[in-house]
A and B are shown apart, each in its own frame.
Chain A
Amino acid sequence: MIELLTGMLSGALLAGGVLVLGALGEVLAERVGVFNLGLEGLMALGGVTAIITVAHVASAPLGLAAGILAGVAGGVVFAVPVVLLRANQTLCGLALTIAGTGLAASVGRPYSGQPARAVFDGVAIPYLSELPVLGRAIFSQNLLIYVIWIILPIALHYLLFKTRHGINLRAVGENPAAADAAGVPVVLLRFCYVVIGAGFSGAAGAYLTLAFVPSWSDGITGGRGWIAVALVIFAGFRPYQAAAGAFLFGLITALGFVGQARNWPIPPAFLSMLPYLGTLAFMIVPVMVSRRLQRRLAAPASLGLAFYRDQR
Chain B
Amino acid sequence: MTQADARPAVELTGITKRFPGLIANDAIDLDLRRGEIHALLGENGAGKSTLMNILTGIYQPDAGQIRIDGVPVQFASPVQAIAAGIGMVHQHFKLIKAFTVAENIHMGWSETPRRVSAAVLERRTAELAAKFGLAVRPDARVEDLSAGEQQRVEILRVLARGARVLILDEPTAVLTPGEAAALAHAMRGFIATGYAIIFISHKLDEVLEVADRITVLRAGRKIATLPAQDCTQSQLATLMVGREIVAPQRGNAAHDRAIGQIVLQLAGVSAVNDRGLPALVDVDLALHAGEIVGIAGVAGNGQRELSEVLTGIRAVTEGQVRIGGTIMPNAEPAAFLARGIGHIPEDRLRSGLAPSMAVADNAVLREYNRPPVARGLFFAVRAAAALARRIVADASVLVPNMRMPVRNLSGGNQQRLVGRREMRVAHQALVAAYPTRGLDVGAIEQMLRYLIEMRDRGVGVLVISEELEEVLGIADRVAVLFQGRVMGIFPAAEADAERIGLLMGGRAEMAA
Number of chain A interface residues as a range:
20 to 34
Q: What A residues does B108 contact at CB under 8 A?
A: 168, 171, 179, 182-184
Q: Are B94 and A167 in contact (CB under 8 A)?
A: no
Q: What A residues does B59 contact at CB under 8 A?
A: 310
Once bound together, how far apart are the Cα atoms of A250 and B99, in whole Å?
33
User: Given that A167-B112, A182-B108 are known contacts, is A312 also in contact with B20, CB under 8 Å in the complex?
Assistant: yes
Q: Are B97 and A182 in contact (CB under 8 A)?
A: no
Q: Are A184 and B117 in contact (CB under 8 A)?
A: no
Instruction: Report if B157 contacts A (CB, 8 A).
Output: yes
Once bound together, how far apart are the Cα atoms of A171 and B107, in whole Å?
7
User: Given that A162-B115, A167-B116 are known contacts, is A298 also in contact with B98, CB under 8 Å in the complex?
Assistant: yes
Contact of B97 among A164, A174, A183, A184 (CB under 8 A): A174
B353 vs chain A, min Cβ distance (A): 18
Instruction: Report if B96 contacts A (CB, 8 A).
Output: yes
Those of A139-171 within 8 Å (CB) of chain B: 162-168, 170-171
Cβ proximity bits A102-141 to B, threshold 8 Å, 1 near / 0 not: 0000000000000000000000000000000000000000
Q: What A residues does B107 contact at CB under 8 A?
A: 167-168, 171, 178-179, 182, 184
Q: What A residues does B304 contact at CB under 8 A?
A: none
The segment from B74-82, B220-228, B323-331, B472-480 found at the interface with A is B74-82
Instruction: Report if B103 contacts A (CB, 8 A).
Output: yes
Q: Are A171 and B96 in contact (CB under 8 A)?
A: yes
Cβ proximity bits B58-74 to A, threshold 8 Å, 1 near / 0 not: 11000000000000000
A-B contact pairs, 5 of them (CB 8 A): A171-B108, A175-B96, A179-B108, A180-B78, A312-B20
Once bound together, how far apart are the Cα atoms of A295 and B19, in whole Å?
39
User: Given that A162-B117, A164-B106, A167-B116 are known contacts, is A178 also in contact with B78, CB under 8 Å in the complex?
Assistant: no
Q: Are A178 and B95 in contact (CB under 8 A)?
A: yes
Q: Select from chain B the residue with minimum beta-carbon distance to A184.
A: B108
Spell out A's residues near B (CB within 8 Å): 162-168, 170-171, 174-175, 177-185, 295, 298, 300-301, 309-310, 312
Q: What A residues does B243 contact at CB under 8 A?
A: none
Q: Are B103 and A183 in contact (CB under 8 A)?
A: no
Q: Are A171 and B88 in contact (CB under 8 A)?
A: no
Q: What B residues does A166 contact at CB under 8 A?
A: 116
List 18 other contacts, CB 8 Å, given A174-B99, A175-B94, A182-B157.
A162-B115, A162-B117, A164-B109, A167-B116, A170-B99, A171-B99, A174-B96, A178-B94, A179-B96, A181-B90, A182-B109, A183-B78, A183-B79, A183-B82, A298-B98, A301-B96, A309-B58, A310-B58
Q: What A residues does B131 contact at CB under 8 A?
A: none
Q: What B residues does A167 contact at CB under 8 A?
A: 99, 103, 106-107, 112, 116
User: Given that A162-B115, A182-B78, A182-B107 are known contacts, is A177 also in contact with B94, CB under 8 Å in the complex?
Assistant: yes
> Per DSSP, are chain B's interface residues mostly helix, strand or loop, or mixed?
loop
Instruction: Report if B114 contacts A (CB, 8 A).
Output: yes
Instruction: Report if B251 contacts A (CB, 8 A).
Output: no
Once bound together, how far apart are the Cα atoms of A182 and B113, in whole Å?
16
Q: What A residues does B157 contact at CB under 8 A?
A: 182
Q: What A residues does B88 contact at CB under 8 A?
A: 181
Cβ proximity bits B82-110 to A, threshold 8 Å, 1 near / 0 not: 10000010100011111100010011110
Cβ proximity bits B174-194 to A, threshold 8 Å, 1 near / 0 not: 000000000000000000000
Once bound together, how far apart are the Cα atoms of A163 and B118, in whole Å?
11
Once bound together, how far apart are the Cα atoms of A185 and B82, in whole Å?
13
Once bound together, how far apart are the Cα atoms of A185 and B110, in whole Å?
12
Instruction: Report if B56 contacts A (CB, 8 A).
Output: yes
B93 vs chain A, min Cβ distance (A): 8
Q: What A residues does B90 contact at CB under 8 A?
A: 181
B425 vs chain A, min Cβ distance (A): 32
Q: What B residues does A164 contact at CB under 8 A?
A: 106, 109, 112-116
Once bound together, how far apart are the Cα atoms of A179 and B95, in whole Å?
8
Once bound together, how far apart are the Cα atoms of A310 and B78, in whole Å?
12
A182 vs chain B, min Cβ distance (A): 4
Q: What B residues does A300 contact at CB under 8 A?
A: 98
Once bound together, how far apart are the Cα atoms of A215 and B95, in whole Å?
49
Q: Are A162 and B94 in contact (CB under 8 A)?
A: no
Q: What A residues does B78 contact at CB under 8 A?
A: 180-183
B407 vs chain A, min Cβ distance (A): 11
Q: Are B98 and A181 in contact (CB under 8 A)?
A: no
Q: Are B115 and A175 in contact (CB under 8 A)?
A: no
Q: What A residues does B96 contact at CB under 8 A?
A: 170-171, 174-175, 178-179, 301
Once bound together, how far apart are the Cα atoms of A181 and B88, in whole Å?
9
Once bound together, how far apart are the Cα atoms of A301 and B143, in whole Å?
12
Contact of A181 among B94, B99, B109, B114 (CB under 8 A): B94
B102 vs chain A, min Cβ distance (A): 10
Q: Are B94 and A183 in contact (CB under 8 A)?
A: no
Most buried by B among A165, A182, A184: A182
Those of B268-307 within 8 Å (CB) of chain A: 275
Once bound together, how far apart are the Cα atoms of A248 and B90, in whole Å?
46
Contact of B98 among A163, A174, A179, A309 (CB under 8 A): A174
Q: Select from chain A the residue with minimum beta-carbon distance to B53.
A: A310
Q: Are A301 and B98 in contact (CB under 8 A)?
A: yes
Once bound together, how far apart are the Cα atoms of A114 and B376, in whole Å?
65
Q: Select from chain B the residue with minimum beta-carbon distance to A298.
A: B98
A76 vs chain B, min Cβ distance (A): 23
Those of B109-164 within 8 Å (CB) of chain A: 109, 112-117, 157
B119 vs chain A, min Cβ distance (A): 12
Minimum-distance CB pairs A-B, first 10 = A182-B108, A178-B94, A183-B79, A184-B108, A164-B112, A183-B108, A181-B94, A174-B96, A312-B19, A171-B107
